Structure 1
Amino acid sequence: MKFLKGMLLASASVGAQAELIINEFDADQPSSDTAEFVEIFDGGAGNTSLDGHVIVLYNGSDDASYDAIDLDGFSTNADGYFVLCSDSATVANCQLDTLSQLQNGPDAIALYQGSATSFGNDTAITSANLIDAVVYGTNDSDDAGLLIMLNAGQPQVNDATSTSAQRCVNGSGGALNTDTYTSAIPTPGAANACAGGGNGDGTTDLGSCGDAAQLISGIQGNITNITADTSPLVGQPVVVEALVTADFTKIDNDNQRYNGFWIQEEESDYDANDMTSEGIFVYSNDIAVSVGDLVRLKAQVDEFGQQTQLKTVSDSTVCSSGNSLPTQQNITLPVSDLLDFEAIEGMRVSYGQGLIVSDLFGSGYGFGNFGQFGVSSKLHFQPTEIAEPESIEAAAAAELRTRDFVLVDDGVSAKNPAFIPFPDASGFSALNPMRIGYTVPTVDGVMHGFNAFRIVVPTDITIVPSLPRTAEPEVAADANLVVVGMNVLNYFNGDGNGSGFREDLSGDAKSAFRGAETYDAFQMQEAKIVAAIQATDADIVGLMELENDGFDADSSVADLVEALNAGQPSEDHYRLVDPGTAKIGDDAIVVGLIYRADKVSLKGDAVVLDETNSPTDANGVLFNTDKNRPALIQSFDFQGNVLTVAVNHLKSKGSACGEPNEGADGQANCNIMRTRAAKGLAQFLATDPTASSSDSVMILGDLNAYSKEDPMDELEAAGYTNLKYTDKATEVQPYSFSFSGFLGSLDHALVKGSLLGNVVSVDAWHINSVEDTLMDYYTEANGHPFDSVDNYANADAYRSSDHDPIVVGLKFDDNSEPDPKPQPPKFGAFMPFMLLLMAGFAAVRRKR
């Protein structure tokens, strides 16, 4: 990535031979001299070969050499520095640790063209092929015999303990000149600190505005490993002078902002390296600053969450106010390399390409947790939703998302903020939601970071609700039967009588309980699910994640049916499918089926597929219900047309199953378990378990497999069609679930046989996957000042679960057997017959 600061310095010649100078050295420490070094600088050209160069050390006692070190095979680093030291464990950025102990002086260090063989012990001083030299002492008298190496009138440098001798401004003075050397905090392999120093005790003075100061680029350093590298000056005091670009100091205890502010170098002080940042965060609430102030401050360099910052500000002054800010760095996603983010850490940035909200949940962050959301150049889909596992395409999709993602933050560091200023200034609310798919035409701010996350703290942002909520799913106008698959996210109704929720329990029962914490939360959950089902106008609904507590009047499924039917006309009432068992399997959650009895009738008995009746192969049971939930299968008759619906909830991708190389192929845990279950399900359905004598079969459910994964391949190989990828689907790239910034389909509807010809529409209704969890029914109990049930959740369909429902519109011809022709009435019963006939004609058919 080519940044603006590089263009500002483009006038610098890149064709000239780089001049090498001795830029900094440290020959004296407070106790044992274990951190001695010599630094060579090429003026910032970077990567300059040192072949044919030699460092020679001269002793002032006899003005002759006592050591020489060849530099063949080495070069300056990308920033232009080369560090020779005695111990790389104690000297940052050391590239060659063969330096013998530097004597305290008076002595000299010289850089020659040549080789060490020309400078044996006690070699006399020579100016032949001399490039640069420095003569130094530790409060010693000048050594005239050594000073002849320097230009006339140049001084002997004093090297104090706890500081190094360094050219200030960095790289200044020129070869064989020493009059710009001063004492300051050692900065081997980085720009010289320069500010203050000279106290002889390692302290640093603030100095006056305009004095030499440590450049921020030298603090940030040239990072080559985004997760491992740190500032070369960590733990050291520095003096910087830079412009305040964003102020997020603390306002009060209830509005805990970032507790600091950002500063950035004036453009005239930028270095020549595009990959070193010119900005930094100052962690301090104790300084009154305003945007546009030029501040000079003394602070300590620190790393926090892989973010270089300044802390412990011990002195500061505002040099001037109302200054123009440095030009923003224009950033386009995706970046070419994650190091591109490091190069702009702490700097003013602008993302003007037009981005899209791609994540609200994340891992370690989140909209409700920290007021953060992710943006990308486009929506990203699970690699195995769009490409075969282990394919080049899948790997590319996963890698691209890492470079095409930044977080936008609310500027408040406190967890669980009471007010979230998105999507607009009025703030987030139940009626002003934030949804994945909203677009962000522009965002200006400063680039921040925490651990692996790249964060933009906005100073200006626009968010457009480009994927608005819809009141109902898309269903074809000519559909006369609607089948829905819906995950209801742990619908547990306690004891069925208003108690028995987690707050009422203790011990193991409390730990095992799922779903709503309280009866109030359950009422919100129920209202949301009822609203979602009613909005679909479904005739048959396959349910996942019901509490597995049977089918009696107090059961969860019976409770849901009762709530659905309340207030609806009788012709829209639902009934539950009861397989005639006390429970289905042993898992805490279970699948279920409900249907409108006035619209469809049951054809035969319900059948449960579990490991007791599963098909087998040489490796045993295919449909293993030790991990998968049992499937519920029922055939229905609609106007003489028979279809069989199988509802499923296969093993999740979470906990492991102990499979070989589990998760290594990108299909997460238990892929073999799910694939075998899919195979067993297809084989079982092929036996016509409900004796329906119909080839019209639909598999519904949360299969916990993305569309290109092995379980889906198994079902498609058995003749099933994934309806989301047909021309009847309402979107080209479907999805029903959001996870870690990727969208994908875990929830499916597949059909086989003649039923495919009856499909007229397929819609994944996006009421859940793109909504934030703050809208759901859960009572938040983690110490923040809001309660999602009271303040965010509405009794509506949005975020009624974490999975989107899939809504299938079907169209059938009426193949009902005609009623037998009425016989003439006997015994003068003509009038009652006519009254019944008129009543039949008066019945009003429900309109879709």
Structure 2
Amino acid sequence: MKHWIAMAALSGIGLTAQAELIINEVDADNSSTDTAEFVEIFDGGNGNTSLDGYVLVLFNGSNDLSYQAFDLDGYNTNASGYFVLCGDSANVANCDLDVTPDSNLIQNGADAVALYQAEAKDFPNGSALTTSNLSDALVYGTNDADDSGLLTLLNSNQPQVNDTVTESMQRCANGSGGARNSDSYTQAVPTPGAANACGDEPVEDTLGACGETSQSAFQLISAVQGSISDMAADASPLLGQTVIVEGIVTMDKQGGLLANGESSYQYSGFWIQEENTDTDADASTSEGVFVYHYRDAVNIGDKVRLRGTVAEYSQTTQIKSLTDIVVCSSGNTLPDAVSVNLPVQSLTELEAVEGMRVSNQQNLLVSDLFGTGYGFGNYGQFAVSSALHFQGTEIALPGSSAALAANEERILDTLLIDDGVSASYPEFIPFPDDSGFSADNPMRIGYSVPALEGVMHAYKNNFIVVPQSLVIDPVNPRSPEPQVAADANLIIAGMNVLNYFNGDGQGSGFPTSRGAPSVEAFAMQNDKIVAALVAMDADIIGLMELENDGFGEFSAIQTLVNALNAQQVEGNEYEFVQPGVSQIGTDEITVGLLYRPAVVSLSGETVILDSSNSPLDANGEPLFLDSKNRPSLIQSFIMNDETFTVSVNHLKSKGSACDEENEGADGQGNCNLTRSRAAQALTQFLATRPTGVDSDNLILLGDLNAYSQEDPMQVLYQSGLTNLKYTDKSTEQQPYSYSFSGMLGSLDHALASAEMTDWVLSVDAWHINSVEDSLMDYLTEANGQTYKSIDNYAQPDAYRSSDHDPIVVALKVPRAGGALSVFWLLPFLSLFFIRRGQAV
């Protein structure tokens, strides 16, 4: 090829040679989790060389087949000639292409990395080794035996290179040895996107004496952390470098005994912070840092001097791979804690105190129990905020500035509080107090945290306080029953019973497609739901998420009624509304309706709204799709000679998509149009008085899967229905029934016509579920829980009987014509009493 190019030049043809691309550096093994792996390609220093037509392929030595392939089309080397592909750019400097996965991207060995002039589609996973179109390759291991199969990728007699956890494999110097030659590789501190260190690195500093600053590796902690103004670029400016630092140990979580006496690895490290006199007076740089090290004991108040490597773990700066550490002195006064108040203007305010002692005396509120998505029972975390946060479309119209701002406001008003144990599923959770979380000592959204002091840690963009001192005040305690007006004569409730599936109804048939995995789990689920229903003591109950298995002797609804009636006094039992069909719709779950014959009587026909009888749109298509929404159950009742109609509903969830245009883009989640059309169908259908009862008294119950200001609700409001939780009869100023992603909202509703609204005395969303942690539900390790967890908190009580709060409406139903009759009789009653010589 070189000869051909020379001939072309002599012929006066203008031709530029393509720079040779080689694999210049690979880091395939890191200490702890492999989150800083990368492959560096080098063009010899030409710079800005196109990588079009190249693919990087990873081969597994266990079978000598490919397991990853990455197209490099559209990329170039940088001006210095380097290109870096990595698993997580937060942990690898100068990364040009961040690929998946973030950790364990490259197998440790014996394995190979190869650069081809080809496309990724030419190397589906499991492709065999080939030297066709091969530009360069590296075969490596971690003290593994040579893989003769992989070595065919190299020139003859070239060695398999060894990789270590603290260094990378690098050509010395940049590009020496040529393509497919590996004998010039050596080990050195990683230098992604920069000149290889190889054997030319300077003589390493000794640790030096405490207080010395002359070593070239010595740095203040503030320099290690750096000044961060952009959360998307929050890595240390000294990433990958060896540093010597001094600081005071502010918290030790290397491991030890927990409050319950159990041993734990905790965070496998400790935090250090500069003394007050060594701070840099720059508010944008942190004075503290986490040290990932658990081999040398330290104590809070120790001043330590150490040498290690600057790294990033899930966007948190740390020093790891310590080669030296000494305790300079003990019993030192801890650096002052920085006051942190919520909300912040930017997350950079929290980034600027990462690793430092912080405090808060705002009286924060527990706002979420799901943390970073792992949950209270998984990593022992909960969230606090300056106020409870509500879904944007619960408090404002979709698309409005208030609705759009709600999520951002929550992000800037949230801190996580952690138990100090990084292991999942801790056996002991030290909240809400030192006695620990238990069935009788719950953590609930709405509890307050009047005082907090600890160390600021982070996980990606989630900021976590590991507390040294903490006060939790249970100001939102459990209530044994809902708030109900004392003079009510009718109570109507709605409750989502979260996949109440009873197997075959005879103690077998578990696991089912949903719900409890065992008969023991179902028994606990049944006890919890019955406990909730007994406490509500409603006369009419609308149910959602019942197993759709009919109405026979062993059906789910009959099982529930039997269990509920076993807790009733004679004459106060329930029956269920029998719609006269084998089952309601074809979905796995359905709605149901219970009532007390001693209080109310059925009136008119029982009606189901589904696609077959739905009102139609302008195109002749049904507005109500029962392939998405569960069919609605409609029944009229009589009490005190007054008739009224109850509609029980469960509309399509936001979870799965419905293939609607711009679905979810407006903040209303998936299937908003489907729910809106169903709401339109409901209003039109109910206006026809489908039960045959001529009454304007109507109440609509159910899990509508729409927050209070969303389009489906607007359709119902426009039809004349009133959201009872937003009237002066509500027991709370800002109602809710569900918690999702740290924000509260109402998916469960009770709406009524104007006539029936006049009867309402009180409306309560009984907060037994949304504010409780899921550890309190019916599943335990003993009864069939399918995932690893320390979880034996379930009790046969109402708390966390579902994930939705029930809605309880108390009414005073007048006697039809009763008031008029009394006034009409007054003159005659007066005459009657006067004749008996009595005053009226």
Shorter chain as normaliser: what TM range? 0.7 to 0.9
Shift of 1:700: 0.1
Aligned to 2:708: 707
Aligned to 1:805: 806
Residue 685 (structure 1) aligned with residue 694 (structure 2): no
TM-score, normalised relative to structure 2: 0.72
Q: Equivalent of 1:230, from 232, 235, 247? A: 235
Aligned to 2:731: 730
The answer to whether the 8 Å contact 1:206/1:297 transfers is yes
Separation in structure 2 between the aligned mates of residue 321 and residue 646 of structure 1, nearest angstrom = 71
Map residues 417-566 of structure 1 onto 2, 5 A cutoff: 417-502=426-511, 513-566=513-566
Task: Report which stretch shifted further, 554-563 or 770-779.
Answer: 770-779
Shift of 1:686: 0.3
Give deviations 1:476-510, integer Å, cap 9, x for gaps.
111100000000000000000011111xxxxxxx6
Give deviations 1:219-261, integer Å, cap 9, x for gaps.
1112232134311222221111111000011127842311110
What letter matches 1:535 in structure 2?
A: A
Give deviations 1:538-584, integer Å, cap 9, x for gaps.
00000000000000010000000000011421221000111010011
Aligned to 1:696: 697
Separation in structure 2 between the aligned mates of residue 250 and residue 814 of structure 1, nearest angstrom = 70
Aligned to 1:627: 628
What letter matches 1:757 in structure 2?
A: D
Residue 414 (structure 1) aligned with residue 414 (structure 2): no
What letter matches 2:744 in structure 1?
A: L
Give deviations 1:75-116, integer Å, cap 9, x for gaps.
xxxxxxxxxx9789799799xxxxxxxxxxxxxxxxxxxxxx
Aligned to 1:719: 720
Q: Equivalent of 1:365, from 374, 395, 402? A: 374
Map residues 667-678 of structure 1 onto 2, 5 A cutoff: 667-678=668-679
What letter matches 1:715 in structure 2?
A: L
Map residues 111-260 of structure 1 onto 2, 5 A cutoff: 201-212=202-213, 213-251=218-256, 254-260=263-269
Separation in structure 2 between the aligned mates of residue 247 and residue 272 of structure 1, nearest angstrom = 26
Task: Report which stretch shifted further, 229-238 or 347-356.
Answer: 229-238
Separation in structure 1 between the aligned mates of residue 372 and residue 718 of structure 2, nearest angstrom = 35
Separation in structure 1 between the aligned mates of residue 241 and residue 247 of structure 2, nearest angstrom = 18
The answer to whether the 8 Å contact 2:780/2:793 transfers is no
Separation in structure 2 between the aligned mates of residue 251 and residue 232 of structure 1, nearest angstrom = 33
Residue 306 (structure 1) aligned with residue 311 (structure 2): no
What letter matches 1:248 in structure 2?
A: K
Separation in structure 1 between the aligned mates of residue 664 and residue 598 of structure 2, nearest angstrom = 46
3-state SS in 2 of match to 1:385 = helix
Aligned to 1:653: 654
Aligned to 2:393: 384
Shift of 1:816: 9.3
Shift of 1:199: 11
Aligned to 1:283: 292
Taking structure 1 as reference, are residues 783 and 201 closer, same or farther at Cα in structure 2, changes over 3 Å only? farther
The answer to whether the 8 Å contact 2:255/2:263 transfers is no
Shift of 1:364: 2.1
Aligned to 1:768: 769
3-state SS in 1 of match to 2:676 = helix
Aligned to 2:815: 814
Number of equivalenced pairs: 632
What letter matches 1:239 in structure 2?
A: I
Q: Give percent identity, aligned residues only.
A: 60
The answer to whether the 8 Å contact 2:521/2:778 transfers is yes
Taking structure 1 as reference, are residues 362 and 326 closer, same or farther at Cα in structure 2, changes over 3 Å only? closer
Unmatched tracts of structure 2, length 5 or more: 1-21, 26-78, 85-91, 96-171, 173-188, 193-198, 819-840
3-state SS in 1 of match to 2:232 = coil
3-state SS in 2 of match to 1:672 = helix
Separation in structure 1 between the aligned mates of residue 754 and residue 436 of structure 2, nearest angstrom = 50
Taking structure 1 as reference, are residues 186 and 302 closer, same or farther at Cα in structure 2, changes over 3 Å only? closer
Separation in structure 1 between the aligned mates of residue 395 and residue 534 of structure 2, nearest angstrom = 32
What letter matches 2:301 in structure 1?
A: G
3-state SS in 1 of match to 2:814 = coil
What letter matches 1:583 in structure 2?
A: Q
The answer to whether the 8 Å contact 1:352/1:443 transfers is yes
Shift of 1:262: 0.2
The answer to whether the 8 Å contact 2:222/2:285 transfers is yes
The answer to whether the 8 Å contact 1:701/1:747 transfers is yes
Separation in structure 2 between the aligned mates of residue 322 and residue 187 of structure 1, nearest angstrom = 39
The answer to whether the 8 Å contact 1:491/1:545 transfers is yes
Shift of 1:201: 3.4
3-state SS in 2 of match to 1:571 = coil
3-state SS in 1 of match to 2:541 = strand
Give deviations 1:302-351, integer Å, cap 9, x for gaps.
11111110111111100000111111010000011011111000000001
The answer to whether the 8 Å contact 2:343/2:412 transfers is yes
Aligned to 1:594: 594
Aligned to 1:98: none
Separation in structure 2 between the aligned mates of residue 548 and residue 186 of structure 1, nearest angstrom = 60
Separation in structure 2 between the aligned mates of residue 415 and residue 470 of structure 1, nearest angstrom = 31
Separation in structure 2 between the aligned mates of residue 661 and residue 482 of structure 1, nearest angstrom = 41
Separation in structure 2 between the aligned mates of residue 254 and residue 495 of structure 1, nearest angstrom = 44
Separation in structure 2 between the aligned mates of residue 589 and residue 350 of structure 1, nearest angstrom = 48
Give deviations 1:691-723, integer Å, cap 9, x for gaps.
111110111000000000000000000110000
Aligned to 1:157: none
Shift of 1:648: 0.4
Separation in structure 1 between the aligned mates of residue 379 and residue 416 of structure 2, nearest angstrom = 11
What letter matches 1:227 in structure 2?
A: A
Map residues 339-358 of structure 1 onto 2, 5 A cutoff: 339-358=348-367
What letter matches 1:264 in structure 2?
A: Q
Aligned to 1:15: none
Shift of 1:785: 5.5
What letter matches 1:370 in structure 2?
A: Y
Q: Equivalent of 2:304, from 295, 316, 328? A: 295
Separation in structure 2 between the aligned mates of residue 412 and residue 488 of structure 1, nearest angstrom = 34
The answer to whether the 8 Å contact 1:601/1:636 transfers is yes
3-state SS in 2 of match to 1:533 = helix
Give deviations 1:42-71, integer Å, cap 9, x for gaps.
xxxxxxxxxxxxxxxxxxxxxxxxxxxxxx
Separation in structure 1 between the aligned mates of residue 472 and residue 415 of structure 2, nearest angstrom = 15
Give deviations 1:390-411, integer Å, cap 9, x for gaps.
1111122221111000100000
Shift of 1:518: 0.8
Taking structure 1 as reference, are residues 367 and 593 closer, same or farther at Cα in structure 2, changes over 3 Å only? same
Separation in structure 1 between the aligned mates of residue 542 and residue 789 of structure 2, nearest angstrom = 37
Taking structure 1 as reference, are residues 705 and 202 closer, same or farther at Cα in structure 2, changes over 3 Å only? farther
Shift of 1:273: 2.0
What letter matches 1:520 in structure 2?
A: E
Shift of 1:804: 0.4
What letter matches 1:771 in structure 2?
A: E
Give deviations 1:794-819, integer Å, cap 9, x for gaps.
111111100000000010123399xx
What letter matches 1:210 in structure 2?
A: G
Aligned to 2:43: none
Residue 757 (structure 1) aligned with residue 758 (structure 2): yes
Separation in structure 2 between the aligned mates of residue 336 and residue 455 of structure 1, nearest angstrom = 17
Aligned to 2:142: none
The answer to whether the 8 Å contact 1:362/1:739 transfers is no
3-state SS in 1 of match to 2:751 = strand
Aligned to 1:571: 571
Taking structure 1 as reference, are residues 199 and 316 closer, same or farther at Cα in structure 2, changes over 3 Å only? farther
The answer to whether the 8 Å contact 1:363/1:740 transfers is no
Shift of 1:665: 0.4
3-state SS in 1 of match to 2:758 = helix
Task: Report which stretch shifted further, 243-252 or 317-326.
Answer: 243-252
